[in-house]
Structure 1
Amino acid sequence: MTIRASEHGSKEQISWIRLRSVSLPLRAAVSDAKVLTGRQKPLDSVQLLLADIETSQGHAGIGFSYSLRAGGPAQYAHAQEIAPLLIGEDPNDIARLWGKMAWAGASVGRCGVAAQAIAALDTALWDLKARRAGLPLSKLLGAHRNAVPCYNTSGGYLQAPIEEVIEKASQSRERGIGGIKMKIGQPDRQADLRRITALRKQLGDQVPLMVDVNQQWDRITALRMGRELEHFALEWIEEPLDAHDITGHAALAAQLDTPIGTGEMLTSASEALAYVDTGAVDVIMHDAPRLGGITPFLKVANAAEQRGMIMAPHFIMEIHLHLAATYEHQTWVEHFEWLEPVFNERLEIRDGMMIVPDRPGLGLSLHERVDGWTLAQTEVGKRA
């Protein structure tokens, strides 16, 4: 039997929620291999689902999810359906509330858009809990470190000539970012090899270098290219195959010395756990907003920790920095400056590390410019 907060005497209840659909423009459109192979169009904006939650005692939290190219309106629509279910609930019961929201949309499943709508609300609840405790989210969860190795991805897209990629890599290094990741997976494999050769020559052998194929190789190409890439001493080859090809990733990881990573396109904990439980990759790269929030992310991270896997969460450094700080084994956080205009705060980077904020919760507050990017918003409940 489920008992609401008001029925068992809890003094604190969720009293107000605001949802906003936001379109954040990028300074310049970017293209990865999915564009060059004709599967997608260049990316020129990020669609955000923002959630503000307040309680009857005046505590508040913020959370967000996102989509690229398509799906933002669907996330917002589903969030509007499930947000009213949280009014009157105890905000401490995060796991139960995740299940309540998931069951409400059971007919459309517990992955994809449905999970990503939950993610914004789930993250807001975790932010609220940590703020109320006066702790950074990492400390609330139990941190292993106060800084996490970081690498830049946003400077390595394929629309940019290699000279620009090298220049941005140098700028990232000067800023204190530790590693550099570049996009590959072009139809012309030799062009990929020329770009990697040029960047490695510029960076030197000691700088961590990663490549991201964005799912554009078949199994034979992945093995052949993987062997070509062995002498570059890469930290990993990311998404060499279709994101759901567990068997193919496992076979590739077994045949190459270079670590293999994937996970960013998975949209449920069960999908990510299938990679972890079978040891199909060396680096698990799951994404909290895509999986359904912090609650399912932690389930995958705990399982990966038991296997001693490398963890390198995808995108959204503003959330993943805290989660990576709680991971016992080797971990990275991915640097993208794309979402910086949304927040008043900036993350500190030095000596190859991203510093975990000591501010309560995620340590973030929304900039007033978000109002100008808001496409739609809705409120449920009443503010205390």
Structure 2
Amino acid sequence: MGAVESNIVSYAKIGADARTAAETGDRIAHIKLSLVFLPLATPVSDAKVLTGRQKPLTEIAFIFAEISTRDGHSGIGFGYSKRAGGPGMYAHAKELAPHLIGEDPNDISRLFTKLLWAGASMGRSGLTTQAIAPFDIALWDLKARRANLPLAKLLGAERDSVQCYNTSGGYLHTPLDQVLKNVEISRQSGIGGIKLKVGQPDLAIDIERVAAVRKQLGNSFPLMVDANQQWDRQKATRACRAFEEFDLTWIEEPLDAYDFEGHAQLAERFDTAIATGEMLTSFGEHAQLIMGEGSDFIQPDAPRVGGITPFLQIMSLGAFKGRKLAPHFAMEIHLHLAAAYPIEPWLEHFEWLGPMFNEQMHLKDGRMHVSDRPGLGFSLSEQALSWTAETEEFGKKP
């Protein structure tokens, strides 16, 4: 037998014995979905409440997905909704869950696309993408846990901690004297920045509150404001001009979230940075914002855009265009993502979710530090279980 014939026989034997990647690997065996309502101790009001567009926030709906595989690996993820939509998200998540049973948990990008098209008749943003987020986040958590790495390290961390600012002490329903007390408590706890809500019907009240906090903090401490989309272009221009003297880190959502052009004009006109993006619910919407030069800071929210998979796409485009990053809410997830962003980011601190998890996050010297726990590094507490309204399971436990 010649050399050529020998090689053909050898390759044929190898081909007969070998298996492809599709024929091997782990498989998703079981999914548990939970609808949990987190009550807030004090109803929360921002500018949307003062203008009558929304009611005070009294609770937050969370949809948790706990995914287990045939080989014994597991991950947990969540999505959320404020004021309305939680039961709708949960209902759609129940429609999506069966599509994952038997799938390879490694194929996260493909599975995101699969779930996106499963609900595409309702669109590829909004509730349909937000219902995907618990699964996508759980799969990334599973992947990092399997590697025995914090998610930030799995993604390739640029840093081990992220500068962190507090929002929850500066809502519009809070009297100014209490705001000043909250500011001091936050600063003593190790927070790195303070954000105030603005958008009062009378701009003079906003200016008074911002001036008082700036005086208390001093000129160098990072201070941000958030108007929650409540100004038109004329009011936003006046407000941005008035706030220039306070050396703010950014002015957030001065206009409607989808007024990309208006935000771009403000970003070009004023020295103070413009931040927006938290209300956008897909990579495509964020791409419009970023490519339209619509802000200096981008503020994607992983649960709102559909999970970590689209968030990473937003990060890549944002970094390419030189945008700064300040993810919205859900610091338990966003700490890991912000730690992997090449440009120094900010993390938003909310203590609201603390009772829902057994583990605590580590804040020190103005920065939130990535723990050494694998994955996202959290598990549901007994308190979260007591707040659970509904559960449903799919597949079989391994």
Shift of 1:26: 0.9
Secondary structure of the residue aligned to 2:314 is helix
Give the aligned partner of residue 78 of structure 1: 92
Provide, for residues 183-236 of structure 1, a one-character-per-residue CA deviation record: whole Å limited to 9, x for no partner: 000111110000001111111111100000000000011111101100100000
- The question of 1:268 aligning with 2:301 is answered no
User: C-alpha distance in 2, partners of 1:68/1:117?
Assistant: 14
- The question of 1:90 aligning with 2:118 is answered no
- The question of 1:63 aligning with 2:47 is answered no
Give the aligned partner of residue 320 of structure 1: 334
Identity %: 58
- The question of 1:340 aligning with 2:349 is answered no
Give the aligned partner of residue 366 of structure 1: 380
User: C-alpha distance in 2, partners of 1:346/1:41?
Assistant: 31
Secondary structure of the residue aligned to 1:378 is strand
Give the counterpart letter for 1:196 in structure 2: V
Give the aligned partner of residue 175 of structure 2: 161
Give the aligned partner of residue 50 of structure 1: 64
Shift of 1:330: 2.2
Please, what is the CA RMSD of the aligned residues? 1.1
Partners of 2:35 and 2:388 within 8 A in 1? yes
Choose which of 128, 143, 146 in structure 2 pairs with 1:114.
Answer: 128
Secondary structure of the residue aligned to 1:242 is coil
- The question of 1:382 aligning with 2:392 is answered no
Give the counterpart letter for 1:363 in structure 2: G
Shift of 1:8: 2.9
Give the aligned partner of residue 33 of structure 1: 47
Shift of 1:7: 9.2
User: C-alpha distance in 2, partners of 1:347/1:369?
Assistant: 17
User: C-alpha distance in 2, partners of 1:334/1:325?
Assistant: 13
User: C-alpha distance in 2, partners of 1:326/1:245?
Assistant: 29
Give the aligned partner of residue 14 of structure 2: none
Give the counterpart letter for 1:276 in structure 2: I
Equivalent residue runs for 1:294-309 within 5 Å: 294-309=308-323
Change over 3 Å in CA distance of 1:7–1:350 after alignment to 2:
closer
Secondary structure of the residue aligned to 2:64 is strand
Choose which of 231, 244, 259 in structure 1 pairs with 2:258.
Answer: 244
- Structure 2 residues not aligned, in runs of 5+: 1-18
Q: Out of 367-376 and 211-220, give the one that drifted further.
A: 367-376
Give the counterpart letter for 1:43 in structure 2: L
User: C-alpha distance in 1, partners of 2:37/2:123?
Assistant: 26
User: C-alpha distance in 2, partners of 1:214/1:10?
Assistant: 49
- The question of 1:231 aligning with 2:245 is answered yes
TM-score (norm 1): 0.98
User: C-alpha distance in 2, partners of 1:10/1:234?
Assistant: 54
Provide, for residues 219-273 of structure 1, a one-character-per-residue CA deviation record: whole Å limited to 9, x for no partner: 0111111011001000000000000001100111111000001000001110011
- The question of 1:209 aligning with 2:223 is answered yes
Q: Which structure would you say has the larger Rg?
A: 2
Provide, for residues 248-305 of structure 1, a one-character-per-residue CA deviation record: whole Å limited to 9, x for no partner: 0011111100000100000111001111112211000110000000000110111111
Give the counterpart letter for 1:367 in structure 2: S
User: C-alpha distance in 1, partners of 2:55/2:292?
Assistant: 34
Partners of 2:144 and 2:374 within 8 A in 1? yes
Give the counterpart letter for 2:223 in structure 1: L
User: C-alpha distance in 1, partners of 2:22/2:289?
Assistant: 40
Shift of 1:6: 11
Choose which of 252, 265, 284 in structure 1 pairs with 2:298.
Answer: 284
TM-score (norm 2): 0.94
User: C-alpha distance in 2, partners of 1:196/1:22?
Assistant: 35
Secondary structure of the residue aligned to 1:54 is strand
Partners of 2:261 and 2:292 within 8 A in 1? no
User: C-alpha distance in 2, partners of 1:104/1:7?
Assistant: 25
Runs of 4 or more above 6 Å deviation: none
Shift of 1:370: 1.5
Give the counterpart letter for 1:172 in structure 2: S
- Structure 1 residues not aligned, in runs of 5+: none
Secondary structure of the residue aligned to 2:68 is strand
Change over 3 Å in CA distance of 1:6–1:378 after alignment to 2:
farther
User: C-alpha distance in 2, partners of 1:141/1:232?
Assistant: 37
